[in-house]
Amino acid sequence: MNLNMTLKDIDPSTKLKYSKFLKGIKALKKYKWGEHNISDLFILYNLIVNKNQYGSERMTELFEDFVTDFENKHN
Sign of the four-CA dihedral 42, 47, 52, 54: negative
Give the pLDDT of the chain (75 residues) as one tens digit per residue: 567 777 878 889 988 988 888 888 888 888 888 888 888 887 777 777 766 666 656 666 666 666 666 667 666
How many structural domains does the chain have? 1
pLDDT value of residue 5: 74
Question: Which strand (E) or helix (H) includes residue 69?
Answer: helix 64-73
Distance CA 30, CA 36 (A): 10
Which among 51, 52, 24 is positioned nearest to 39, based on CA atoms? 24
Structural domain of 15: 5-73
State the DSSP code for 55.
S
pTM: 0.57
Encode pLDDT of 34-53 as tens digits.
Answer: 888 888 887 777 777 766 66
- pLDDT for res 62: 65
